[in-house]
Amino acid sequence: MPELPEVETVTRGLTPVMEGFVVDHVVQRRPNLRFPFPENFVGRMAGRRINQLTRRAKYILGYLDDGQVLLVHLGMSGRMTIFDDPLVRVPAPAKHDHVDFVMQSGAVVRFTDPRRFGVITLIAADEVNTHKMLVDIGPEPLGNSFNATVLAAGIAKRASPIKTVLLDQRLVAGLGNIYVCEALFRSGIAPDRLAKDLKPDEIERLYREIRLVLEDAIVAGGSSLKDHRQANGELGYFQHSFRVYGREGEGCFADGCGSTVGRIVQAGRSTFFCPTCQK
């Protein structure tokens, strides 16, 4: 599933062709994705200007000029691709190309989702903080509302492994399996440590590394493991910088370590770690 860096990368890629531009029309090729499309979705989108395009956790939000908000979640396999070269014909839709947003500028933004776990819907602007998909989401890890003090308060009474606690979207928004594994390795914290037992200096280090690993991944265009593509169709390449994720049995990259990367299963998810570097 795309995590925060992948969704941020897609949002940034879409902004130059969608933010401030008018949707001429929408082509909808099926009645539903994970959920049915909203009633009269095509009609409600036609002629609407997208005043602002932003991200909340793993959701893309497009604020329209009539008070609606276009909410998009990429699900497990969704991607959005831009076709905006006037000299190149937009390719005919393939089997899993479910929606085209055709802009008055001539650009086409195509939503593709083989597994159909994605979401495209419309909500009212005043529901952004209370809508059922968004209401329980914690602070943005790259925003001013998240810091070491907030992290410390959120884990203080959590008697669960720090790895699984960090995946709780109520604690912090947008973190997923890949970047939690990487942040814990960079922090030198074992994934099975109880969250409430972390010391202040460890929490400070973990907070710092969460921010850094997310920032590094965004610069790299995210991680392309199976389905992720940037909005221009290119692959992300942060997967080439993984220090532990997906590297079970391979040597630890830390200087002088000599250990191999291990894997355990926590809450049904694979956790990758170094048994020597992480305590």
> Are residues 156 and 40 in contact, defined by beta-carbon separation less than 8 angstroms?
no
Residue 113 one-letter amino acid: D
Q: Which of 44, 48, 56, 58 is catalytic?
A: 58
115: annotated binding-site residue? yes
Quickly count: other Cβ atoms within 10 Å of residue 36's Cβ. Answer: 11
Catalytic residue flag (residue 93): no
- The single residue of 12, 140, 269, 275 carrying the catalytic annotation is 269
3, 6, 182, 209: the catalytic one is 3
* C-beta separation of 161 from 193 below 8 A: yes
Q: How far apart are CA 156 and CA 151, in angstroms?
A: 8
Q: How far apart are CA 29 and CA 83, in angstroms?
A: 18
Taking a C-beta distance cutoff of 8 angstroms, is the pair 28, 42 a contact?
yes
Q: In this structure, what token pair is assigned to residue 232?
A: 């221009």
Q: Is 25 annotated as a binding residue?
A: no
269 is catalytic: yes
Residue from 2, 114, 139, 161 carrying the catalytic annotation: 2
Active site residue 2: yes
Binding positions for DNA: 96, 115, 158
Binding positions: 96, 115, 158
Catalytic residues: 2-3, 58, 269
